[in-house]
């Protein structure tokens, strides 16, 4: 009987020259392919739905099969004579780290969406010296991705594993094939991504939030055609959070502060999205698109501004907040998701103009925009702090 679990598996296959050895007849590479075929067949029988992707690595990384639930086409690919006779080139096992990062990128995209899939990596290699960089280790742990290692050779496994992974080593072809079948039949108990995400955030705290922020997508800027549509009164294109063209929070139009989900194109005001993110059960700063549930992130300055104003309302008799505008160098700006929060346009050509940052809410402003803002009210438009 089929299990209700849904699983994504990225299979990383070592295609270095040593896989040509014939001690696992006809050779190590074709034996590995036979094992993969058994694994996929057994998984597809046992589960309601399984998606498979295959990545090969030697001196380069190749995604030979995209993540798909069409297991028949994947089996057909690895059973193809041309694929079986692939030219196995010399290469460094150090490429393993790059292959793992490719797999993490694919699975990261799956985590962004609520799909209910358990995300796993299966690494198959005849090399026992599997060193994984500390940075990649942290990513795997932070994203809570299950990783299984299968190694095989005639020698007993004396590998020095630098990472606490589920590793199995086989010294005969039959044991390897049996091991692949047993792995396929292991039951996984996993919640959907949304529930799983909330739980691991609570359990692992800041480190996990940092990893989730890495894979969360930024809201995209509208194209010129989209801006024209936003500006036409006759068209019923509204923010899909407040359902209006004018944001009730900042009174800005969709034309000025409208952004879109990069996955489904849902429009929303930047500050409406920020308020949504502050109320999110996931993590302040991260939220899910109200339509497609893609994991998104909001610039920290927007959140800071909304928080400062909220705190000011709660303590209306508190002292006036004094803020300074600090000159920011171009090198720091290159590493940030930077908009001017007066004109709401990206900060470009920073080497040709001064850019300032509010000491209170960390919002960025073009020099000309800051001058206009100062003439207008002598306040930071983002947090209402009084500029000194």
Average pLDDT rounded to a whole number, residues 289-305:
86
CA distance 328 to 325: 9
Q: What is the pLDDT of residue 208?
A: 55
> Cβ distance 219 to 268 under 8 Å?
yes
Give yes or no: residues 175 and 232 share one domain.
Answer: no
Q: What is the DSSP string of 97-161?
A: HHHHHHHHHHHHHHHHS---EEEEEEEEES-S-----HHHHHHHHHTT-EEEEEEE-SS------
- Structure tokens of 198? 């909330």
C-alpha neighbours within 13 Å on the C-beta side of residue 21: 14
State residue 192's pLDDT score. Answer: 42
Give the span between the Cα atoms of 230 and 149, in whole angstroms. 51
Domain that holds residue 275: 217-298
- The model's pLDDT over 107-118, given as tens digits with 9 standing for 90+, comes to 877 776 655 678
Same domain, 158 and 252: no
Higher pLDDT, 353 or 257: 257
pTM score above 0.85 = no
Report the distance separating Cα 15 and Cα 139, nearest Å.
24
The pLDDT of residue 172 is 94
Show Cβ contacts of residue 375 under 8 Å, excluding neighbours closer than 6 positions: none
Q: Could you report the per-residue pLDDT of 181-225, keeping only the tens digit for each?
A: 999 998 765 444 444 444 444 444 455 566 677 778 889 888 888
CB of 387 closer than 8 Å to CB of 379: yes
The answer to whether position 206 is within a domain reads no
Instruction: Give the CATH number for residue 249.
Output: 3.30.40
**Residue 73: which CATH number?**
3.40.50.410
Residue 198, domain member (yes or no): no
State the pLDDT at residue 163: 44
Coil/strand/helix, residue 7: strand
| Same domain, yes or no: 38 and 133 | yes
113 in a domain, yes or no?
yes
For residues 80 and 179, state if they share a domain: yes
Which of these, 256, 222, 255, 254, lies nearest to 240 by C-alpha position?
254
Residue 362 in domain: yes
Are 188 and 7 in contact by the 8 Å Cβ rule? The answer is yes
Q: Residue length, the chain? A: 388
Indicate if the pLDDT at residue 123 is higher than 90: yes
Strand partners, 372: none
User: Could you report the per-residue pLDDT of 315-334, keeping only the tens digit for each?
Assistant: 444 467 899 999 887 666 65
| For residues 294-315, average pLDDT | 76
**Total domain count, the chain:** 3
Q: What tokens does 21 get?
A: 């050895």
CATH number for 369: 3.30.40.10
């Amino acid at each position: 009987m089929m299990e209700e679990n849904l699983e994504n598996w990225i299979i990383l296959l070592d295609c270095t020259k040593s896989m040509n050895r014939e001690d696992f007849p006809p050779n190590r590479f074709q034996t590995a392919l036979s094992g993969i075929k058994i694994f996929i067949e057994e998984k597809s029988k046992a589960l309601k739905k399984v998606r498979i992707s295959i990545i090969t690595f030697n001196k380069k990384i190749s995604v030979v099969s995209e993540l798909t639930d069409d297991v028949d086409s994947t089996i057909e690919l690895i059973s193809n004579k041309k694929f079986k006779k692939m030219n196995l080139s010399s290469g460094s096992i150090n490429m393993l780290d790059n292959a793992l990062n490719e797999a993490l990128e694919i699975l990261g995209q799956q985590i962004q969406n609520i799909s209910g899939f358990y995300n796993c990596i299966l690494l198959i290699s005849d090399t026992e010296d599997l060193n994984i960089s500390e940075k990649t280790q942290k990513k795997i742990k932070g994203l809570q991705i299950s990783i299984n290692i299968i190694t095989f050779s005639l020698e007993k496994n004396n590998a020095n594993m630098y990472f606490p992974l589920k590793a199995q080593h086989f010294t005969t072809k039959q044991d390897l094939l049996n091991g692949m079948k047993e792995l396929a039949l292991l039951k996984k108990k996993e919640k959907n991504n949304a529930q799983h995400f909330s739980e691991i955030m609570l359990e692992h705290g800041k480190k996990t939030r940092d990893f989730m922020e890495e894979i969360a997508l930024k809201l995209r800027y509208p194209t010129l055609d989209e801006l024209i549509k936003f500006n036409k009164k006759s068209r019923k294109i509204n923010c899909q959070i407040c359902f209006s063209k004018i944001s009730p929070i900042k009174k800005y139009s969709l034309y000025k502060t409208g952004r879109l989900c990069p996955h489904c194109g849902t429009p929303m005001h930047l500050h409406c999205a920020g308020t949504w993110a502050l109320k999110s059960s996931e993590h302040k700063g991260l939220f899910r698109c109200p339509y497609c549930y893609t994991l998104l992130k909001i610039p920290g300055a927007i959140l800071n501004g909304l928080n400062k104003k909220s705190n000011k309302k709660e303590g209306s008799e508190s002292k006036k907040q004094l803020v300074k505008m600090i000159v920011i160098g171009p090198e720091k700006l290159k590493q940030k998701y930077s908009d001017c929060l007066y004109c709401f346009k990206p900060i470009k050509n920073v080497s040709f103009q001064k850019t300032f940052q509010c000491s209170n809410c960390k919002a960025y402003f073009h020099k000309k925009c800051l001058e206009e803002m100062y003439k207008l009210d002598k306040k930071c438009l983002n947090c209402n702090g009084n500029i000194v």
